Structure 1
Amino acid sequence: MYEKWKEQYEKTISKFPERKKVFKTTSGYVVKPFYTPADIPDFDYEKKLGYPSIYPLTRGVQPTMYRGRFWTMRQYAGFATAEESNKRYRYLLDQGTTGLSVAFDLPTQIGYDSDDPMASGEVGKVGVAIDSLADIETLFNGIPLDKVSTSMTINATASYLLSCYIAVGEKQGVSSDKLAGTIQNDILKEYMARGTYRFPPTQSMRLITDIFSFCKDNVPLWNTISISGYHIREAGSDAVQEVAFTLADGIAYVDAAIKAGLDVDDFAGRLSFFFNCHNNFIEEVAKFRAARRMWAKIMTERFKAKKAKSTMLRFHTQTAGSTLTAQQPQNNIVRVALQTLAACIGGTQSLHTNSYDEALALPTEESVRIALRTQQIVANESGAADTIDPLAGAYMVEAMTDDIEKRAFEYIQKIDDLGGMMRAIEQGFPQREIQNSAYEYQKAIEDEDLIIVGVNKYHIDEEPPKGLLKIDSSVEVSQKAKLKNLKETRDNDAVKRALADLTAAAKTNENLMPKILNAVKTYATLGETINALKEIFGEYKENIVL
């Protein structure tokens, strides 16, 4: 029968040529006209798929997945002042969000106070400005921290922001062992893809492992890191590179924690991951499944983890910001819906859906509501959440899952040969791979090998966008005024003692989290705390890769 089809196929394309000579995914996987059992030879169900929550975890990390409850619906939000962001959080919770996700402004991400000259022009622009515990108290005012799960997209300054969250919990009467949430705390991807680093890699890794150790004993419900492929993909990687570099980062963190004296099963269960969801539907579903299976193998075979929870790749997903277009922005609603469905079928544990206007500005209340409703419609109306891993066994899905796993492990082997991810980053290997992938992606758009609706095809004449959210420059003025008042009214002697204790501890092998938490409680500012560490740690200078 195959030969009969092939004859008809060749006869048809000789008269009616196909749209492309070669159909490929964004990671270069060549897509065949159709798939058969021959594309997954020697397929072993138990070895490749198995059952949800059971090794190799291809089909999901929970035995019931969404039949019990839907994924956590987070909407990433934060802008201007803590007061304004608090209003947005309350609005999102009223609209059905089941978890908060905090976006911080650039000075907060890097560790500058709002009155620092380096922060000029950036205060409150791409997230909420946080200078001290006082701002965090305002940010979560009226939001009971024992009733919500909070994710904070923070890396270089994660230790300070986590300490602020713990301190606010205490003020609400919520002990740290009742707090649930995630800090991103993934510094390696900052060196290769994003840039919000402050300290050199070795010192940054010390802070990360200090957080692992501290939370194991004091904040046991907290996910101490969100190992992030999202920004790697946004920087231009393809799907295979996203999986490979993310898991290689994960390997580096596990190695560092073990070298710091932690047992793998004491912290691995609190590791979480963060992936992008792009437009190629089948490839994205296969990517999530491959990543889950790979991490289970890595933790079992490489690190000899004994607890089942240590082998589970639990991940948050965000729809792809880089796929949003300023042209015909309403088209982005369709893109986000497609990506939402892929994340659902791929088995995500939580999801943020981008708003359609984010290629132009921070999202308005209307656009963020549509983004949230997209999740709710997929969850409640599509039927995709009613069964576990619904595309399992599809020939193309299984063939692509195997291919992504194979190629991603090849990348990890290259990184191992270079001496691990930190050495690979120092040599510029992942940076060059991402740059080359970004170039090829853009070239495909310009050559129209890849069609982006409204950008390189299907244009229309458009009016300039209206009703966009803009951050007034007065935010910086008011934030500086609040900071000035704080410094005049707090106990500055207590602040000096706490910062001196922190600097002294940085010279030793002592866990720094208790010292940072103590400084936070005296209302030492973010910038003051980071500068106290900088005296000992120094600052990282980027290695330019061409």
Structure 2
Amino acid sequence: MFDQEKLKKLQTSKKEWEAGKLKGILEKRPERKEKFKSGSGEKVERLYTPLDIGQADYEKDLGFPGEFPYTRGVQPTMYRGKLWTMRQYAGFSTAEESNKRYQYLLEQGTTGLSVAFDLPTQIGYDSDHPLSEGEIGKVGVAIDSLADMEVLFNEIPLDKVSTSMTINAPASILLAMYIAVAEKQGIPSDKLRGTIQNDILKEYIARGTYIFPTKPSMRLITNIFEYCHEQVPKWNTISISGYHIREAGATAVQEVAFTLADGIAYVQAAIDAGLDVDDFAPRLSFFFNAHNDLLEEVGKFRAARRLWAKIMKERFGAKNPKSLMLRFHTQTGGSTLTAQQPDNNIVRVAIQTLAAVLGGTQSLHTNSRDEALALPTEESVRIALRTQQIVAYESGVAETVDPLAGSYYIESITNKIEKEAMEYITKIDNLGGAARAIDQGYIQKEIQDSAYNYQKEIEKGERIVVGVNKFQIKEPAPSGLLKVDPSVGEAQKQKLAKLKTNRDNEAVRRSLLELKQVAQGDGNLMPPILKAVKTYATLGEICGVLREVFGEYEQSIVL
């Protein structure tokens, strides 16, 4: 990118500047005493110049937007053509209450829905299961059957809205419910647009809402790939998630590395199941975190995009350009929000929003200021959405493609993150791939060590968190928080009991038996799951059959 002779001359000039002007200033006014490092703890140099990216080749390493290696974006015009999808993650209490929140968000200008499910739903238990007690409707909406899903999307035209569902172990069941609701609205499945998270490996690594062992879990995922390629072609069949890996304490490099390693495992599993890479890879999507270090995060997104394009082209031989594109959703960093001085979180989220947009995200959720304390209120959600809208329409950063490209620091950190992430991926390959590395506890241990170091820095005062370990104030107890009424659980159980009384229980029994027979063989599980859903078999009943056949995953202990 730069003439080598000019770089040599620049190196000489830089040394002269350091020995002269810089040295004199440092003697008079020394730099601050704290260490200069990125949000991930990486050393940040005083100055970046062409020397830091001197070997870069513009066409090879950056290229043009919409072309390999996609460093500068997956679309030629990016936000000049279409803004990112403003997708607010929401769901709590009952389907009725969550539907009201979705209607409110659509009225306020959100351009995509994102469904949060309660913990029992996430781990495949109905609301009347003993393990669901006290958790019904708390961290998301309770969905026991197709009847709940019908209410959840009542008067929301599914052919006109894109829906993301944060669901993993029972992803096939919730997708089947969504398809069935659309069918009742008269909408064919080939018109549906949206995403299911469907990323079980990161559950084993960082989040914990798994059900089945690795092998049957991977079967369910590849069954979805195959089914959607034929029946729901506009659906993103997986959202390979670095978000929760980062929330667990990973660095930016680890977030990229472990997420892409999981992606490699899914692609390989699908190929091993007999699928052609270009049949399913165009519908893969990713999900990343946006933290407070604006410039490191921008470099992270650019590095991830370039590295994935190379992996798909060179490792898997993908030919379709869409198979090479790392399309991703971003959520601002939940773990960065503080219970102390919660209004400060508005500023944090604004910085993180900028990072995601400058990094080229396709979809974005902005966290609300009160999420360190409770589920967000309508006012907090509106402020979070307005943050996206102000960045989109008032900041100017969406007017040109990849506006920070060419910055010596941005290009340097992009290169560094790509290189170090690839080194991690090579280590994981040598361990036998992501699933084996997870079973051995390698990935979990790396994240735990990073999380420990980060927390230690905060406690020592080496890392400042405004309002937490510096600039504290006396604050009144928080008020006006959203609380889920304890009666929600009992009401949900009553609805479920009524459903079980009024449905055709013989049809349910036959559908579950058919599902069990397919699970015991090697057929695609999506058709019998869809059939069972349409009989109003519950989530817990369907997962119960699969538990009986597949067993349950047991997490390895990592010390």
Residue 39 in 1 paired to residue 52 in 2? Answer: yes
Among 1, 12, 17, the residue aligned to 1:5: 17
Residue 242 in 1 paired to residue 267 in 2? Answer: no
Give, in whole Å, the separation in 2 of the partners of 1:130 and 1:42: 54
Residue 63 in 1 paired to residue 87 in 2? Answer: no
Give, in whole Å, the separation in 1 of the partners of 2:472 and 2:465: 10
- Kept after mapping to 2: 8 A contact 1:26/1:441: no
Give, in whole Å, the separation in 1 of the partners of 2:534 and 2:143: 15
Structure 1 residue runs of 5 or longer lacking an equivalent are: none
CA-CA distance at 1:20 after TM superposition? 3.4
Give, in whole Å, the separation in 2 of the partners of 1:453 and 1:541: 39
Identity level (%): 71
1:247-277 CA deviation, whole Å, 9 max, x = no partner? 0000000000000000000000000000000
Partner of 2:115: 102
SS class of match (1:514):
helix
Among 85, 107, 112, the residue aligned to 2:125: 112
CA-CA distance at 1:448 after TM superposition? 1.4
Give, in whole Å, the separation in 2 of the partners of 1:317 and 1:444: 26
Partner of 2:5: none
Among 224, 233, 248, the residue aligned to 2:246: 233
Partner of 2:215: 202
Among 62, 72, 80, the residue aligned to 1:49: 62
Q: CA RMSD in A?
A: 0.8
CA-CA distance at 1:9 after TM superposition? 2.1
Partner of 1:325: 338
1:347-376 CA deviation, whole Å, 9 max, x = no partner? 000000000000000000000000000000
- Kept after mapping to 1: 8 A contact 2:458/2:464: yes
- Kept after mapping to 1: 8 A contact 2:34/2:462: no
Partner of 2:401: 388
Give, in whole Å, the separation in 2 of the partners of 1:5 and 1:377: 41
Among 362, 368, 386, the residue aligned to 2:375: 362
- Kept after mapping to 1: 8 A contact 2:242/2:259: yes
Residue 376 in 1 paired to residue 389 in 2? Answer: yes
Partner of 1:270: 283
Residue 422 in 1 paired to residue 435 in 2? Answer: yes
Q: Which amino acid aligns with 2:72?
A: R
Instruction: Give the 5 Å matches for 1:102-141.
Output: 102-141=115-154
Partner of 1:171: 184
Give, in whole Å, the separation in 1 of the partners of 2:196 and 2:250: 23
CA-CA distance at 1:19 after TM superposition? 1.9
Instruction: Give the 5 Å matches for 1:362-511.
Output: 362-511=375-524
Give, in whole Å, the separation in 2 of the partners of 1:70 and 1:505: 43
Among 54, 65, 85, the residue aligned to 1:72: 85
> Could you state the TM-score of these two structures normalised by the residue count of structure 2?
0.97
Give, in whole Å, the separation in 2 of the partners of 1:409 and 1:433: 15
SS class of match (2:297):
helix
Q: Which consecutive aligned stretches of 4+ in structure 1 deviate over 6 angstroms post-superposition?
A: none
Give, in whole Å, the separation in 2 of the partners of 1:377 and 1:214: 39
Give, in whole Å, the separation in 1 of the partners of 2:421 and 2:28: 39
Give, in whole Å, the separation in 1 of the partners of 2:24 and 2:475: 43
Q: Which amino acid aligns with 1:489?
A: N
Among 339, 348, 359, the residue aligned to 2:352: 339
Give, in whole Å, the separation in 2 of the partners of 1:157 and 1:274: 18
SS class of match (2:286):
strand
CA-CA distance at 1:447 after TM superposition? 1.4
SS class of match (1:197):
coil
SS class of match (1:410):
helix
Number of equivalent positions:
546
CA-CA distance at 1:21 after TM superposition? 5.1
1:293-314 CA deviation, whole Å, 9 max, x = no partner? 0000000000000000000000
1:488-543 CA deviation, whole Å, 9 max, x = no partner? 00000000000010011101110000000000000000000000111110011111
Q: Which amino acid aligns with 2:410?
A: V
CA-CA distance at 1:23 after TM superposition? 1.0
Give, in whole Å, the separation in 2 of the partners of 1:416 and 1:28: 25
- Kept after mapping to 2: 8 A contact 1:148/1:180: yes
Q: Which amino acid aligns with 1:520?
A: V
Instruction: Give the 5 Å matches for 1:139-218.
Output: 139-218=152-231
CA-CA distance at 1:4 after TM superposition? 4.2
Give, in whole Å, the separation in 1 of the partners of 2:557 and 2:33: 37
CA-CA distance at 1:25 after TM superposition? 1.1
- Kept after mapping to 2: 8 A contact 1:83/1:139: yes
Q: Which amino acid aligns with 1:357?
A: D
Q: Which amino acid aligns with 1:462?
A: E
